[in-house]
C-alpha cells in the first residue's frame, strides 16, 4: 500500500507543478 500512496502523492505533485507552469506561462 505504501507504493500506492507514493504514486498518488507523486501524481498530485506533478499536477501542481504543471498548474504553476501554465499559470506562469
pLDDT for res 9: 96
The three-state DSSP-derived secondary structure of the chain is CHHHHHHHHHHHHHHHHHHHHHHHC
- pTM, two decimals, is 0.61
Q: CA distances (Å), 25 to each of 9, 10, 11, 20, in order?
A: 24, 22, 21, 8
Question: What tens digit of pLDDT does each residue of 1-25 get?
Answer: 678 899 999 999 999 999 999 999 7
Which residues are CB-neighbours of 16 under 8 A, at least 6 positions away? Answer: none
pLDDT for res 2: 79
User: For 13, phi and psi rounded to 5 degrees?
Assistant: -65, -40
Amino acid at each position: 500500500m505504501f507504493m500506492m500512496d507514493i504514486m498518488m502523492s507523486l501524481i498530485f505533485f506533478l499536477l501542481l507543478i504543471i498548474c504553476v507552469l501554465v499559470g506562469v506561462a
